[in-house]
Amino acid sequence: MKARVAAGWLALCLCFLAAPARAAVTAALSATQIVSGTTVQLTLTYDGLTTSDPDVAPLRADFDILGSSTSTSVQIGTGGSSESTQVVLTLAPKRTGRLTIPPISWDAERSPPLTLTVTGAGSASAAAPGAGTPAKVFIVSRVTPARPYVQQQTRLTVQIYTAEQLYHGTLQFTGNGAVLVKHVGADQYGNAVRNGQTYQVITRRYVLFPQRSGQITLPGPVLAGEVPERQSSSPWGGNPFGGFFGGLMQTLRPIELHGDPVVLIVRPRPSDAATGHWLPASQVTLTAHWSPRTLTAQAGDPLTVTLDLRAAGLTAAQLPDLAHRLAPPAGVSAYPDQAKLANTAEGAGVLGSRDQTIAFIANRPGRYRLPAIRLHWWDTRTNRPRVATLPAQSLNILPAPGAAAAPPAATQATPPAPAVPAPSVAPRAASAPVRTPLQAVKTGLTPWQWLTVAMGALWVATVGIWLALRRRRRPRPAAPPVPMRPPRPDASAERLAFRAACERNDAPAARRHLLGWMAAAWDVPATSLQPLAAASRDPQLSAALRELERACYGGAGWQGAPLAQALRELPARAAAGASGGGTLPPLYP
């Protein structure tokens, strides 16, 4: 009996030893061959229940992990129960070729390695081996020109071809320290047919500005999104609910498609280009707008010019500051305002603009000449240097109102006129009669005189009849004439002139230009500084305004720096009330 029991235990042990060893972690791919731009699912199965996660770091060398899901299952049968934990990873290949799925560690166990073949999808004819169909989604990039100058605009056109519905699609393309990238314009949508396959084409445009010469390589654009896992079919000719439910009835899978790298061969600045600021553009325009157009002003009043610089193929940040190139002559001060920069899309590129206003103020009358401006730039269309020029201008400054007239250049004394003796006239007797040159006087009227009297009487009668008829009609009294509104001053010019007067410590000019600034900014007549003090509610500004009024009224010394520091911008008109003049009378006439 004991021998039989020992033999049974021995046979049971031999059965356990003879059973094949079962791997604790298994791995499987949803496909072994895919087209670049599509994804593949890697399923890892752990034999048993665990709360830990597999180590997927080795996968990141060749794949992007777009998503993961975890599930557990318990099976109970006649032979007992079994448990397993499953992790599904969605992988997007980073390159084409024969890729290896390395062993994955999970709770001290390792999965076996796998092999995945990724084919290119650069054209519609590319297809997965054995699939017999072209790629459903791919990217085409085009660079123009491929050999730009340093800092020259380069246009990059990216087209996405998709033959299936794309959900939550995003396209990413960024530069680096060597290339500045800007997205221009709106995306364009169209259709195209390649090799019998109809694609929806999405076109997006970028402009690139290389910052150094030599060869520069940028990673290609990356398309991420989701596409249907499988298309539902119906024996009645398609899914009858597809138009109503859209993609809600479909299973989606993520995709991530990497476009070809962007390679630029950047040429250095040409040797025959002018020194100074480097402007490689297809067109440059430089214009000036003067106010007033006659280039005539009174001493102490501003003459403003707005310089408008536009360059096709450059950004506004690349354009130079022209204020320092317009150096004023002696006796004229220049006060440049802050430049306005703007970038607008023009065709497939960008148009940069820089607008800057400069106020010129002369304290003495006379004629002053401003030099010409010459701006050198490089024409990328003809590969030749060019120059944009503004001609020289002459400013005519008149004396200020009430100023003493300047003495003439040379004065000459006028000799006194010789004395002329008065004629001696013998006094007449008081009773001496006055003789007339007429020898005879006629007392009767001539026919012409009678005709003149008759015409006068007729004219008086006509006027009387006209007045009587006018009273009878009693027309409405004419409305009083509407007084003409004085021309609105320029807010920017008045602001610059006010700050210039503060720098010169000229109290009357500062008050005059401050009122002009208020009238232009608030669009109402301004005769007093009281509305400005009430609108600001700033004790420091109110004190500075009182000092200005005291200096104008009493003629004492005045420092304009505190007022210029306290008043950088005017408050809103709504805060100042409806009337620009205020309800209080001016502090001084």
Q: Token pair of 30, please?
A: 């949803």
User: Are 142 and 223 members of one domain?
Assistant: yes
Q: Residue 184 sits in a domain of what CATH number?
A: 2.60.40.740
Same domain membership, residue 71 and residue 147: no
Within-domain flag for 360 = yes
251 and 288 inside one domain: no
What is the domain extent for residue 360? 280-398
**Residue 30 to residue 38: CA distance in whole angstroms:** 12
Q: What are phi and psi of 502, to 5 degrees?
A: -65, -40
Residue 367 reports pLDDT greater than 60 = yes
In order, the DSSP letters of 199-227 are EEEEEEEEEEEE-SSEEEEEPPPEEEEEE
Residue 55, helix vs strand vs coil:
strand
User: pLDDT band at residue 79, thresholds of 50, 70 and 90?
Assistant: low
* 203, 159 Cβ separation under 8 angstroms: yes
Q: Taken in order 285, 289, 294, 298, is the CA torsion positive or negative?
A: negative
Return the SS3 of 537: coil
β-strand pairing of 373-379 with 280-281: parallel
Instruction: Provide, rounded to the nearest whole percent, the portion of the chain with pLDDT above 90.
Output: 32
Number of compact structural domains in the chain: 4
Task: Judge if 69 and 149 occupy the same domain.
Answer: no
Q: Is residue 302 part of a domain?
A: yes
Overall average pLDDT of the 479-486 stretch: 49
Intra-chain end-to-end CA distance of the chain, in Å = 136
What CA–CA distance (Å, rounded) separates 202 from 254? 19
How far is the C-alpha of 20 from the C-alpha of 28, rounded, in Å? 20
User: Which 3 state secondary structure label does DSSP give 310?
Assistant: strand
- Predicted confidence (pLDDT) per residue in 170-181, tens digit: 999 988 889 999
Task: Find the range with the poorest average confidence among 193-207, 258-272, 397-411, 429-443.
Answer: 429-443
* DSSP for residue 176: B
Tell me what percent of the residues of the chain surpass a pLDDT of 70: 74
**Residue 586 pLDDT:** 44
Model confidence at 448: pLDDT above 70: no
Go through the chain and tell me how many residues it has. 589
Q: Among 368, 398, 428, which residue terminates a domain? A: 398
Q: Does 523 fall in a domain?
A: yes
Residue in 242, 297, 302 with CA at minimum distance from that of residue 506: 302
Of 398, 413, 448, the one marking the end of a domain is: 398
Average pLDDT over the chain, rounded to an integer: 78
Say yes or no: 143 and 199 in one domain: yes
| pLDDT score at 409 | 34
Given a cut of 90, is residue 413 above it in pLDDT? no
Contact 534, 582 (CB under 8 A): yes
Q: Is the Cβ–Cβ distance between 47 and 23 less than 8 Å?
A: yes
Residues 190-207: pLDDT tens digits? 999 988 889 999 999 999
pLDDT band per the 50, 70, 90 thresholds, residue 1: low
**Token pair for residue 54?**
């597999």
Residue 76 has pLDDT above 50, yes or no: yes
528/497 Cα distance (integer angstroms): 18
Q: Which residues neighbour 468 within 8 Å (Cβ) at sequence distance 6 or greater?
A: none
Confidence of residue 432 (pLDDT cuts 50, 70, 90): very low
Task: Encode pLDDT of 504-546 as tens digits.
Answer: 888 888 888 888 888 888 888 888 888 888 888 888 888 888 8
Residues 145 and 262 in one domain: yes
Does any domain span residue 410?
A: no
Pick the last residue of a domain from 350, 367, 398. 398
Q: Is residue 498 part of a domain?
A: yes
* Phi, psi (deg, nearest 5) at residue 87: -120, 130
CATH number for the domain spanning 44: value is 2.60.40
Q: What is the pLDDT of residues 83-142, one digit of tens each?
A: 888 898 888 888 888 999 999 998 888 899 999 998 875 433 333 333 445 678 889 999
Are residues 322 and 294 both part of a single domain? yes
448 vs 386: which has the higher pLDDT:
386
- Structure-model confidence comparison of residues 565 and 404, the more confident one: 565
Same domain, 143 and 259: yes
Q: Tokens in use for 413?
A: 């004394």
Minimum mean pLDDT range among 37-46, 350-359, 387-396, 416-425: 416-425
- Indicate the Cα dihedral angle 421, 425, 426, 432, nearest 10°: -170
- Indicate whether 561 pLDDT > 50: yes
> Tokens at residue 504, please?
């010169």
Q: Are 186 and 253 in a shared domain? A: yes
Q: Are residues 48 and 161 in the same domain?
A: no
Whether 57 is in a domain gets the answer yes
0.75 exceeded by pTM: no
Q: Tell me what the mean pLDDT of segment 419-432 comes to.
A: 39
If asked whether residues 196 and 252 sit together in one domain, one would say yes
Is 6 within a domain?
Answer: no
145 lies in the same domain as 256: yes
- Evaluate whether residue 444 is within a structural domain: no
- 3 or 538, greater pLDDT: 538
